[in-house]
Structure formats: C-alpha cells, structure tokens
Amino acid sequence: MPKVFVYLWLDIEDYVTKEADDPALIFITILKRHNVPVTCKLVAEEVRALAERGRQDVISAVSTCDVGYHSDTHSQHPMVWEYLANLDVRSGAKEFALREERGLKLMQSVFGRTPSCFGHPGVMWAPHVYPALRAMEIRMYLDETAILNLNDSPYWYCGVLNLNGAGKNLIYFDYSFEKPNGIESMKSKFNQIYTRLHKRKGGAISICLHPHTAVNQTVWDVVNFAGGRNRTKREYERPPPQPPEVTNRAYEDFEKFIEYISSFEDVQWITANDAVRIYKSPQLKTVERDKLKEITKHFVHSQDYMKLDENYLSPAGAFYIVTKCLAQFSETGAIPKRIRFKEPLGPLAAAHTNGGKTLQTTDLLTAAKIANKFVNVEGNIPASLNVGGYAILSPHDFLATACKLLDSMLAAKSVSDKIVLRKGKPPQVERLHLTKFKADCKWVVLPPNFSAPKIFEQACLQAWTLKPAVPNS
C-alpha cells in the first residue's frame, strides 16, 4: 500500500502577544491526546518571552515535541533578506551564523539539544543559510517557499534535506476556523491531496499552523514591524483579537482535522527528525569506472540531476566526478577505476564563456586539474575556468565539454589533441521562479521598494546541487 507521509509543523513565533502563549499549549495537548507527533519551530525571542512571562508550562510542553529553530528575532530589522542582500552564499553563511549564534545557543540551552530543523522567518528563504546549517549540525530545512520547487516533493539542496516546497501538497490551517464550515474545506483539501498522492504511489503532505492565529485576527509582525520599522518592547501593539467563538472553534476544528487525517490507514505522521531517517538515501561514497559512461552520456546533453542506481546525482556531483577523472588522467595517463565522491556547492558568481570554439585537449585537462583542486580547497565549483589562457569557460559549458572528452576517452584508446567546445546551460534554473521571488520582496514587513536580485542569483547558482529526496524502500 502506498505510504503518504504527513508532517505537521507549528511556527511558535509571536513574542508580542501574551495571549498567544496558550494556543501553542492547547494545540500540543490535543496532539498528545491523539498520539500525533509534531515539529514545533520556535523563534528564540519567543522562548525568552515565555520565560519572562513565567510560561514554563508551554516550554515544557514544547520540549516533549520535535523542536526546530525559526530564527532569533524573526521580524526585527535587519531581517534575513536585508542583511544577505549583497552577499554571496559563502559570506552570507558566515553572516547568518554570526547573527543567529545567540538564538541557537539559547535553544540548545533551554531544550537540551540542537534543533532538528530550521525554517525561514516570513517569506525569506535564502540559499546562504544552508552552509551555516551544516556547520550548526541542523540536519534539515522545514518550511515552505514558492521560489524553489521540485515537483512539489522533498529534495536535497546544498547538501541539506528539504521539506520546503510542498506546493500543491501544502495545507495552511491558519484562519480556516474563522468560517463556521472551515473544517469541511480543510477535510476536502486534504482528501484531494491524499487521493492524488495515493494514486501516484505515495508522497508527502505539509500542514502548517501558526498557533497565534487562534487568538489574533492579523499577523503580529505586520502590526509591529511593517515597512522596515522596529519597535521597542514598550511600543509593541497587540493585533486585533479573535472573537472567543472563533478561538474555541480553532481548537475544535483542529482536533476534528487531526482525527480525520488519522483515520486514513496508510497515512504516517512524521516529524523533521523522522524525515532525516526516512529520506536518508544511500550515501554515494565512491563511483566505479563502469558508471562513468552513464554519467558522461547524461551530462553531455543534460544538466539536470540523474538517477544513478539507488542514488540521485546532482550536476555539482557530476562536475566533481568528471574533473577528478580528467585531473587524474592528466597526471597518470589513465582514468581511475574508482573515484571518491564529493558534492561541492555551486559557483558563487555567474560567468559567460569567451574564446574559441575549439580547445586543446591538454589545456582542458590542465583546467580540470586546477578546477578539481579548487573544489577540494574551497568546497564550491569555480565561477569560471581558464582554458589555455585564451578561453574562459562557464562551469556549465566546461561540464558539457569535459563530459564529451571523458566519454571519448572511455570509448577509444587514443585521445584527440583537440575538442570542440560544447554549450551547456546553467543547471536546473527552471526550478526557481523569479516572479515568486519578486512577489515575496513585496512582503509588507520588508522595507518599501525592497529589492535583492543577488539573493535570487545565488539561489540559481546553487541549483547545481539540487536533486530529489526519496524515502527509503
């Protein structure tokens, strides 16, 4: 029977409204009553506020759940996109780690463990976060963005597992309870998604709830931090409250919704911690020589990910394998029988190819050797490659050309002294959506006329690392 995974996540973030402390506790109590696991992503400032307000009961309830991290102060300025706007992925990761160090240490101290996951505040998904998460030992990204989508399914990006981009498989429970028949709409939506996934032999459904919506008619940070404005604690303003009957219905509808989902026999509730285990595909540690032809034939024509036995190989992984083979050939005159695998980050800047259409094979081999050394030292693909001093190749054109050369080597004993430049294309950029990014830049909490094209550019460059995440069989 196909397995449909359902991951429920609560974003516990409203540190402005003391009345918003209770909903998190009540929702968690309902889930405990029905034995349903949940991932609670907390803003560190909310943890501080709970402690100041003496709400150890809420902290204790959350500590029994899977605990994720939702940034230090969420919407206080400068926010994530504001301080990452002009940085590349490497420098941005350092900046993110520096600014989030205080919040992460608090989470570790209060809950006694490193958070299982991270999710961006508001709409602000950014590729810069991923290298920092790996350094922080946060193993996955759990949230939602429309900027990057891989078939509405889990994926790997920058070496981190993502439940982030469920798209058509996402349900927001927020504010559904404001309508008396809201629960029927929620059930109908779940049934439609479930039926579709069941027919295609399984999948994952994302359900998001911001507990504060049970008591607030509007979002707390829009009221207090809109337009790039900061407020002191004394200036915090409570959002308009929900009528008592709406708050009561929120709890009643939530319980009904949980009961309804749990009634499906092949539904499995999972947390972020569970996902790390479920979606941990076999690790590609080495690549045998007999797989090289399969790799080169794919990437000489395509720069999308490929299936390789039980694994998926990203373009970044292919770049490492091919440059490693050519580098070793340039030194020994032989293609290695086995390659130790490594998946680098994508390039940190965009580049275009300039130079002749025909390249010297020896120059290409030398460039591969230099590129492979660069990857091993820096951990990312170079932005461009100098071939013979007269041609500058973009990494995607280099990969296509290098695959053609390696493919020829594998098929023939002799190697031609020249090779024709093959044109590739930046890998998988069609999976990223500029219109969605521009729309998110208009989020009301950001400063007026906010623009950060470099963030989207960096996201596209890291599409080199994108590949599906599939559950273990």
Whether residues 274 and 337 fall in one domain: no
Which residue segment(s) compose the domain that 64 sits in?
A: 4-280+432-468
DSSP string for 79-108: -HHHHHTT--HHHHHHHHHHHHHHHHHHHH
Q: Are residues 258 and 307 in the same domain?
A: no
Three-state secondary-structure class, residue 138 = coil
Do 345 and 224 fall within a single domain? Answer: no
**315 and 260 assigned to the same domain:** no
Residue 299 counted as domain residue: yes
Q: What is the pLDDT of residues 28-64, one digit of tens each?
A: 999 999 999 999 999 999 999 999 999 999 999 999 9
Please tell me the distance from the alpha carbon of residue 246 to that of residue 19, in angstroms, as a whole number: 14
Fill in the amino acid letter for 328.
Q
Distance CA 71, CA 130 (A): 14
pTM, entire model: 0.96
Same domain, 247 and 376: no
Regarding whether 330 and 208 lie in a shared domain, the answer is no
Residues 252, 336, single domain; the answer is no
Domain containing residue 262: CATH number: 3.20.20.370
Verify that 375 and 337 share a domain, yes or no. Answer: yes
Domain assignment of residue 473, yes or no: no
| Amino acid identity at 368 | A
Contact partners, residue 399, CB within 8 Å, separation at least 6: 299, 303, 315, 318, 319, 322, 424
Residue-level pLDDT at 200: 87
Q: Are 356 and 421 in contact (CB under 8 A)?
A: yes
> Does residue 311 sit within a domain?
yes
Distance of CA 340 to the CA centre of its chain: 26
Q: Is residue 25 domain-shared with residue 166, that is, in the same domain?
A: yes
**79 vs 48: CA distance, rounded Å:** 19
Instruction: Identify whether residues 117 and 261 lie together within a single domain.
Output: yes
pLDDT tens digits for the chain (473 residues)?
Answer: 569 999 999 999 999 999 999 999 999 999 999 999 999 999 999 999 999 999 999 999 999 999 999 999 999 999 999 999 999 999 999 999 999 999 999 999 999 999 999 999 999 999 999 999 999 999 999 999 999 999 999 999 999 999 999 999 999 999 999 999 999 999 999 999 999 999 888 999 999 999 999 999 999 999 999 999 999 999 999 999 999 999 999 999 999 999 999 999 899 999 999 999 999 766 788 999 999 999 999 999 999 999 998 889 999 999 999 999 999 999 999 999 999 999 999 999 999 999 878 999 999 999 999 999 999 999 999 999 999 988 899 999 999 999 999 999 998 867 889 999 999 999 999 999 999 999 999 999 999 999 999 999 999 999 999 999 999 87
Q: How many domains does the chain have?
A: 2
Question: Do 261 and 312 share a domain, yes or no?
Answer: no
Q: pLDDT tens digits for 61-76?
A: 999 999 999 999 999 9
Does 187 fall in a domain? yes
409 domain-assigned: yes
How far apart, in whole angstroms, are the C-alpha atoms of residue 467 and residue 111? 32
- The torsion angles phi and psi of 172, rounded to 5 degrees, stand at -95, 120
Tell whether 251 is covered by a domain.
yes
**In percent, how much of the chain has pLDDT > 70?**
99
Together in a domain, 213 and 113: yes
Residue 197 placed within a domain: yes
Whether 298 is covered by a domain: the verdict is yes
